[in-house]
Every structure is written in C-alpha cells, then in structure tokens.
C-alpha cells in the first residue's frame, strides 16, 4: 500500500525524509501517474482529487490544514476516514496570533500606529486586563490552546460552544440560548469556530449589535462566517472599536475592498496558523501507526458535524 502526498514539493521533501526514517515500509509518492490506483492507501491533500472514487483501497484522507470545510461530503466515499491536521506547529502559531491580536486591541495598537503616521503624541486611556472581558466562539483544540495563553494576563474569559462543555477558569456557555448572554458580556470576541451550515454568516449585524458598545473582534475562524458590510457598519457607527481579521471570503480580497484601508481594521493574509512540515509529518506518521494498530486517528472528522 502507498501514501500519496498531494501537495507542494517543498513540504513534500520534508515529509519524504520523515516517512523514510519512521515508516520505511510504506512507499511515499508525490507523483501517482504510473501507480495503480488500487495501491493508494492514504492521501494527504488540501482538497479531494476529482477522481477520488477510483482509489478502491483508500482508507484515510489527511487534510494538510486544520480546517476541512473545503472537502464536500459527496467528494469522499463513506468508508474513507477524513482526518484534519492536528500538529504542534499549528497550535503554537494560533496561540501566538490570538495573543498578539488580543493585546493589540486591548492596548489600542492600531490607534497608536495611526498617531505615529501623523506625528501625534497622545496617550490614550488604559483599561486594565481584569476589566477587559474576552469571549471565544468555539471550544475546540485551537480555542483551548488560545485560552491557555490568555489566562496569565488576567482577562475574564468566557467561551461559547454548540454543546455543553466545561473548562477550568472559563465561563462556559452553549447552544442557541447561551449565545446572547455570552455576547452581552464580551468586550473582545474571538471567532475560532469551524465552518458549518450553522456558522456560515454567523458574524452578522445581530451579533455585533449584541456585543457591548466599544467591543472588538478577532476573526481567525473561516472567511464565510463574517458579514463584511455588517462589520464595517458597526465600526463606522462606533459600536465596535476595532477588528483583527485573518480570514475573508474571498481570499485575497479585491484591492478596492473596504477592509484594506479601514482605520479600525488590522488585516492579515490568512497567516494566523500555517501547517509546519516537520511537525505535521510527525503527526501524520503517528496517525498511520494508530490506524495500523486499530485505533482512530487524532483529528478524525465527524461527517455529520463537519469537524
């Protein structure tokens, strides 16, 4: 059986070295043009190849990224496992980005950058961390990793998830009935939700209106969750004080889009968390060993939930 690496060759070289060292009995290929489709047992890819059903012995598809919303349900045979990327590099980078974004909003970094451009020396009021209430949409692996980094600053932390969860040091809300009270106590809202039918367009005018006056947004979920016009309207009206946006729909944004030059928006090109080849290769290898031993892989996606 064969492992097919269907991604860029630069990362592929790193994966190939790791597989040769740790799984020497599993052939690793980046070009399958001369391979029998029945040989392919595992695939690592960003999206499902259009002819995926011809790989009759395929056991698992590994996503090269942490998200899997790019895989349409009809693109994968029901007997094939879909596995999202769970690796230390992704976790660490998301911790860094969320912490950076929260502190930038908390300490008004965007306003000071604007003042610097105007040679204006104007100290702004400082809000203590204990008064800045952080709310996280989502309680998955990346959300809990971000919480771990935010706790030492002393921010009051809360999180919302679809189903009931408990996390030490965090006020947890859940379900439709819990969303409004969660938003009403949140000064900096962080979206770390996966993209599903329920979360598409979730960050809309209603959500922004429910946040307290002066609240801010950190969006590192998925681009299709955010209503761009609603965000700009809330910022321009003064109800929201700022936003850090890493994901958009589409990507990249057209040059004339309002996010590029908005004075209250920090925009980054989907770089909050990027798969690191060395740690990702180890994670995939460990998962293949788990599958061989009869265990489910880490990051196995529930097709019904979409994550």
| Residue 65, SS3 per DSSP | coil
User: Within 10 Å of residue 34's Cβ, how many Cβ atoms?
Assistant: 6
Place of tokens 């990793």: 145
At 184 the three-state DSSP class reads: helix
Residues involved in catalysis: 222, 270
Extract the tokens encoding 252: 């990249």
Query: Quick check: bond before 252 cis, omega within 30?
Result: yes
Please say whether the beta carbons of 60 and 83 come within 8 A. yes
Measured CA to CA, the distance from residue 10 to residue 127 in angstroms comes to 45
* Nearest Cα residue to 1 out of 18, 15, 14, 19: 19
CA–CA distance, 107 with 201 (Å, rounded to integer): 29
Instruction: Report residue 260 CA to chain centroid gap.
Output: 21
Judged by DSSP in three states, 217 sits in strand
Q: In whole angstroms, what is the distance from residue 97 CA to residue 218 CA?
A: 10
265 phi and psi angles, rounded to 5 deg: -120, 130
């Amino acid at each position: 059986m064969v492992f097919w690496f269907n991604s860029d060759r630069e990362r592929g070289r790193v994966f190939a070295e790791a597989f040769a060292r740790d799984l020497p009995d599993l052939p690793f290929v980046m070009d399958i043009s001369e391979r029998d489709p029945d040989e392919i047992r595992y695939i690592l890819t960003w999206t499902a190849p259009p002819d995926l059903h011809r790989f009759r012995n395929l056991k698992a598809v590994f996503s090269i990224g942490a998200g899997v919303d790019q895989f349409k349900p009809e693109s994968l045979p029901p007997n094939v496992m879909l596995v999202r990327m769970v690796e230390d590099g992704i976790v660490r980078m998301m911790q860094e980005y969320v912490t950076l974004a929260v502190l930038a909003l908390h300490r008004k970094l965007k306003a000071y950058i604007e003042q610097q451009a105007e040679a204006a020396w104007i100290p702004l009021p400082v809000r203590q961390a204990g008064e800045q209430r952080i709310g996280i949409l989502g309680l998955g692996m990346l959300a809990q990793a971000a919480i771990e980094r935010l706790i030492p600053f002393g921010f009051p932390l809360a999180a919302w998830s679809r189903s009931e969860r408990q996390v030490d040091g965090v006020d947890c809300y859940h379900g439709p009935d819990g969303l409004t009270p969660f938003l009403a106590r949140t000064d900096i809202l962080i979206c770390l939700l996966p993209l599903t039918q329920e979360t598409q367009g979730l960050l809309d005018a209603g959500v922004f209106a429910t946040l307290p006056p002066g609240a801010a947004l950190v969006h590192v979920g998925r681009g299709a969750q955010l209503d761009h016009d609603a965000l700009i309207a809330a910022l321009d009206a003064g109800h929201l004080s700022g936003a850090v946006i890493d994901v958009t729909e589409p990507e990249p944004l057209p040059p004339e889009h309002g996010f590029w030059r908005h004075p209250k928006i920090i925009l980054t090109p989907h770089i909050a968390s990027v798969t690191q080849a060395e740690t990702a290769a180890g994670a995939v290898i460990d998962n293949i060993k788990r599958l061989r031993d009869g265990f489910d892989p880490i990051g196995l996606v529930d097709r019904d939930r979409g994550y």
